[in-house]
Amino acid sequence: MKPDLLKQQAHRAIQKRLGYEFRNMELLQQALTHRSYNAKHNERFEFVGDSILNYSVARMLFDAFPKLSEGELSRMRAALVNEGVLAEIALEMNVGDGLYLGAGELKSGGFRRPSILADAMEAMFAAVSFDADFSAAEKVVRHLFAERVKRADLNIGKKDSKTALQEALQARRFALPKYRIEEQAEQTADAMFVISCDLGELGFICNARGSSRKVAEQKAACEALEWLEQKFPLKKAKKMILQTAFEKMQRPSETIKKVIYKWISKPFCKTSRNTRRIIVAALWPSWVVRMSANPR
């Protein structure tokens, strides 16, 4: 495919912003070709580019934040490697000017659609690796993400609200929340979702608005989590769990109760699963002695 003058100029500008000059321009052209265009498109390139991107950013975060846990690093990578961030970078690079789109996509503004722009970015990472090697592609990713990694908010590494709410409910032995779409605006640039978060047996329901279902769910979960932690502090919830367990036991002795209460306050008992383990263990005299003698 022979690009016109405007496309050639756009491709030169894109290469400059990538920090890489292609030897085989056909690879770049294919990376910028959407499947709606009557030519070789970029979908297979996306598959390779996605892996290159994930590894490269993961390595950058691993080196930049040596004290973060695996879970925190994963969440931080997810905040950096997603459609929104890739589309943002593509807009900064004016990638839309160099895309090859079918007539329908052009008419509907596909050159600025986030999903198409993000796919093109991933495809270009693959194209660089095909034109040179993996190291060259990784260098491009590092070049584009360096400032974003440097400015990364450490709070991003913390659990998102939905995950935190689920774990908080499980620790208190309550049922998981139910999310439901209450309102959904028409599919326009200003689409709006209203999502409800229902805690069921606790009798708490809240609504939240967002530009997408995901955003609205996170907001609703955040509000529900704040209510849960205020209404049922973990210490109080653990006592409720223990009280239920004691009622099921056959007159547990005061010694057993004291041992369980002592152990239940330890960091080990952050989950209801470990709480139940301690209760079961306390029913056996040999364990009671061992636990009393060797508190953690």
- C-alpha distance across the termini of the chain, in Å: 70
Residue 48 pLDDT class (50, 70, 90 cuts): very high
Rounded Cα–Cα distance for residues 119 and 110 (Å): 12
190 annotated as ligand-binding: no
Q: What is the mean pLDDT of the chain?
A: 82
Rounded Cα–Cα distance for residues 246 and 256 (Å): 10
CA dihedral sign of residues 121, 36, 78, 153 = positive
pLDDT at 284 over 50: no
Contact in structure between 168 and 225 (CB atoms under 8 Å): yes
Among the listed residues 50, 131, 138, 217, the single catalytic one is 50
Q: Is 229 among the residues known to form the active site?
A: no
If you average pLDDT over residues 109-138, what whole number do you get?
A: 94
If you average pLDDT over residues 215-229, what whole number do you get?
A: 92
Rounded Cα–Cα distance for residues 108 and 104 (Å): 6
If you average pLDDT over residues 89-93, what whole number do you get?
A: 94
> And the tokens for 95?
């990638």
Q: How far out from the chain centre does Cα 270 lie?
A: 23
For tokens 């056959």, name the residue. Answer: 250
pLDDT at 267 over 60: no
* Predicted pLDDT at 224: 94
Residue 244 pLDDT class (50, 70, 90 cuts): low
Rounded Cα–Cα distance for residues 113 and 84 (Å): 10
pTM: predicted TM-score of the whole model, two decimal places = 0.57
Task: Give, in order, the Cα–Cα distances in Å from 85 to each of 1, 20, 72, 118, 197.
Answer: 30, 20, 19, 8, 27
> And the tokens for 294?
């060797």
Among the listed residues 105, 122, 138, 217, the single catalytic one is 122
**Exposed e or buried b per residue across 79-105, where buried means at least 16 C-beta atoms within 10 angstroms of its C-beta:** bbbeeebbbbbbeebebbebbbbbeeb
If you average pLDDT over residues 220-232, what whole number do you get?
A: 91
46 annotated as ligand-binding: yes
* Predicted pLDDT at 237: 62
* Predicted pLDDT at 247: 59
135: left (phi over 0), alpha (psi -120 to 50) or beta: alpha
Rounded Cα–Cα distance for residues 10 and 21 (Å): 13
133 annotated as ligand-binding: no
Runs of H (alpha helix) within the chain? 5-18, 25-31, 43-64, 70-80, 83-92, 103-107, 114-131, 134-150, 161-171, 213-231, 234-248, 254-264, 272-282, 285-293
Determine the length of the chain. 296
> And the tokens for 269?
């008992």
* Predicted pLDDT at 192: 82
CATH class of segment(s) 5-157: mainly alpha
DSSP state of 81: S
Q: Burial level of 148, CB count in 10 A (0-12/13-18/19+)?
A: middle
* Predicted pLDDT at 292: 45
The verdict on domain 161-231 having CATH code 3.30.160.20 is: yes
Residue 195: CA count within 13 A, CB half-sphere: 23
pLDDT at 285 over 60: no
Residue 257 pLDDT class (50, 70, 90 cuts): low
Q: Is 105 among the residues known to form the active site?
A: no
pLDDT digits (tens, 9 = 90+) for 124-179: 999 999 999 999 999 999 999 999 998 887 666 566 789 889 988 988 888 999 99
Residue 266 pLDDT class (50, 70, 90 cuts): low
pLDDT at 187 over 90: no
